[in-house]
Structure 1
Amino acid sequence: MIEHISWEQFLFALAAMAALYYTYVGLRYYRRELAGGFSKRTVKPKKKRSTVIQLSEEEFDRAFTELSKLTLDISAIVPRCRSSEQLLEELRQRLAHFKGRHVPAFQKTILNHTLQMARSNGISLSEEALSHTIENA
């Protein structure tokens, strides 16, 4: 009986079995990827914030010194504030004269430090409100 099977029939059966096997594996383990490929959903690209701020070395040194003074100032004013609104107003006043507030790394530092100090002093402060205050001071 095996003598009557040609190489062409054997290879065709082998290819059919391999196709069935890989179809099973694809459906079993890669269902989401396959379905996503056929639906052709487009993902909206997120807007990237511009992080290119050119400061000279002297300006950066001054801004960094101001940043360290500002973080010490924040550490001093947070315990005196009784509400998040009062804290945001105090912070807005301090940031009005801070020249490095447009540098994203400095913004992140101010945001994290203020949130940490507010939490440790029992002031509930949302990250969105704080970042809005920092960006618009």
Structure 2
Amino acid sequence: MLDTISWGEFLKDIGTVLILYYGVVFIRYFRSDFSGFLRKRSKRGLSVSFDRSENGTGVSTMQRVGDLLLEIDQEVIPKAQNKQELIGQLRSILLRSQLPDEPEIRGILISHMLLASKVRHLEITKEELLDILDES
């Protein structure tokens, strides 16, 4: 009977049995640790204002970020003649936007403004943008 089973089939079956065994052991003994890890990770990654929660105005924070980026692209960057003028306009628009000070939102704003300023050859630095965001 053992002559009819090839080594490949034997190793595949042993691997399947081991995966099932350790899966049961993991679920039995580490379920609470794993679910706690998933909950903490989802809170850390998604609880930041990118959900659809509204913050008093009836508009989600992500929608406000999108509107701000659109305003920067259409009104601020095309009208700026030099780097100093761009920095001043960005400072005023960010002061009135009143977005929450979240690292994810700051990252989106910084990367977008760096790219948009390079297109217009008004290349501002990341440090200058961080200073603007720290003021607002």
Please say which structure displays the higher CA radius of gyration. Answer: 1
Q: Normalising TM by the smaller chain, what interval? A: 0.5 to 0.7
Taking a change above 3 Å as real, the CA distance of residues 78 and 124 of structure 1, as seen in their structure-2 partners, is same
Q: d(CA) in 2 for partners of 1:128 and 1:54? A: 24
2:117 aligned partner, one-letter code: A
2:63 aligned partner, one-letter code: T
Q: SS where residue 112 of structure 2 aligns? A: helix
What does residue 122 of structure 1 align with? Answer: 121
Q: d(CA) in 2 for partners of 1:93 and 1:121? A: 19
Q: d(CA) in 2 for partners of 1:78 and 1:98? A: 16
2:55 aligned partner, one-letter code: E
Q: TM-score, length-normalised on structure 2?
A: 0.56
1:101 positional shift: 4.3
Q: d(CA) in 2 for partners of 1:101 and 1:110? A: 12
**Structure 1 unaligned runs (5+)?**
1-50
1:54 positional shift: 6.3
Identity of aligned residues (%): 16
CA deviation digits over 1:62-91, x for unaligned, max 9? 221111011001111212101111111111
Q: How do 1:1-137 residues align onto structure 2 when only pairs under 5 Å count?
A: 57-59=53-55, 62-76=60-74, 77-137=76-136
Q: d(CA) in 2 for partners of 1:83 and 1:101? A: 28
**Structure 2 unaligned runs (5+)?**
1-43
Q: d(CA) in 2 for partners of 1:129 and 1:65? A: 25
Identify the structure with the greater helix proportion.
2
By relative contact order (CA 8 Å, sep 6+), the higher-ranking structure is 1
Q: TM-score, length-normalised on structure 1?
A: 0.55
Aligned residue pairs, count: 87
Q: d(CA) in 1 for partners of 2:72 and 2:133? A: 13
Q: d(CA) in 2 for partners of 1:119 and 1:101? A: 26
CA contact (8 A) 2:83 2:123 kept: yes
Taking a change above 3 Å as real, the CA distance of residues 105 and 120 of structure 1, as seen in their structure-2 partners, is same
RMSD: 2.5
Taking a change above 3 Å as real, the CA distance of residues 91 and 101 of structure 1, as seen in their structure-2 partners, is farther
